[in-house]
A = this chain, B = another copy of it.
Amino acid sequence: MRVAILAHEQFPDRAKTALGVLRYADHDVVAVLDRDNPGEQVSSFVPDVQDAPIVTGMDDLEPDEVETLLIGIAPIGGGLEESWRADVRTALEYGCDVVSGLHYFLSEDEEFARLAAENGCELRDVRRPPDDLTVSDGVAGDVDAEVILTVGTDCSVGKMTTTMELARDAREAGYDAAVIPTGQTGIMIEGWGNPVDRVVSDFTAGAVEEMIVERGDEYDYLFVEGQGSIVHPAYSAVTCGILHGAMPDRLVLCHDAGREAIHGYESFPLPSIPSYVDLYESLAAPVSEASVVAGALNTAGLDDDAARDALEEYAAELDAPATDVIRFGTDDLLEVLL
């Protein structure tokens, strides 16, 4: 699929979805739209992902160059920036589908809905849950696949990245592995999935179970993208629903080196690493026995020596192997997971 990714004024540092797609998706990215850096290349900013030219807008592309426009950024609040309207409009006039993870549903925008109908394109709001979700039946544990869930000490500590790296490397090593995407970036990368943080709260576990059951007998390993943290004052419900809905066999605890308090909720200090292990395992146990068997630490802010020290300490606290999957690869983790 030939895609353009909209990331105006936020590429690369505040464009988590755009970067995730560039790094992990199978799509052929023909351009990144960023009016701040036209004429540049993705590789000038981010060396280790798929390269693509950066252009000012959809007008810079020819209609036959691109099939889909992905909205690769999200402003706080998840609204539609009016300055993006022209790009979406042009995409639809070109006959492109448009995929968005905004809270603002493009399919409910009158102009976009009309243009999509006129041009035979699809407006795909990945944050709108399917209408047929329901409560969990408690059966995710029955699938053949080994289910591996990433859990975190906080939001934005690398759960999506770790999930994608592990699944990709497992597949490259010849294992039959799939990702179960639970958030907007994962869904855009994989091209399917339920946005678990947007479903009716009673259906949280059910929305995960439905995906596990759908894929669980086709693969040997399912890597489930975790969300939030079980100690997060706002988002723990989603974390708990994923833990019980996925009924994982193994957990990978993700953490950001040096983080000491919940991001944005600084009056809540993070508990110790061993107490996270106890909490995730004891909460999982009545529904599905699961152990924290590995750790993933984001050491991006540290030099190599400091990173190795941090990893050694993290592994000791976990009593399990740990690595930074971006910096040092996934070998140490896959060895205990597969």
Contacts and interface: CB of A to CB of B under 8 A. Distances in A.
A63 to B, nearest CB: 37
Given A282-B278, A282-B282, A286-B268, A234 B201 contact: no
Interface string A90-111: 0000000000000000000000
A233 B230 CA distance: 16
B201 A241 contact: yes
A244 interface: yes
Contacts of A30: none
A52 interface: no
B267 A138 contact: yes
B234 A135 contact: yes
Interface residues of A, number: 44
A269 to B, nearest CB: 8
A234 B200 contact: no
Interface in A188-202: 196-202
Contacts of A270: 286
Residue from A230, A233, A237, A247 having most chain B Cβ neighbours under 10 A? A237
Contacts of A235: 135, 202, 205
A204 B237 contact: yes
A147 B125 CA distance: 39
Contacts of A205: 233-237
Interface of A: 135-138, 196-206, 230-241, 244-245, 247, 262, 265, 267-268, 270-271, 275, 278-279, 282-283, 285-287
16 contacts: A138-B234, A197-B202, A198-B202, A200-B200, A201-B241, A202-B234, A204-B237, A205-B236, A231-B287, A233-B287, A237-B237, A237-B241, A240-B241, A271-B286, A275-B282, A283-B283
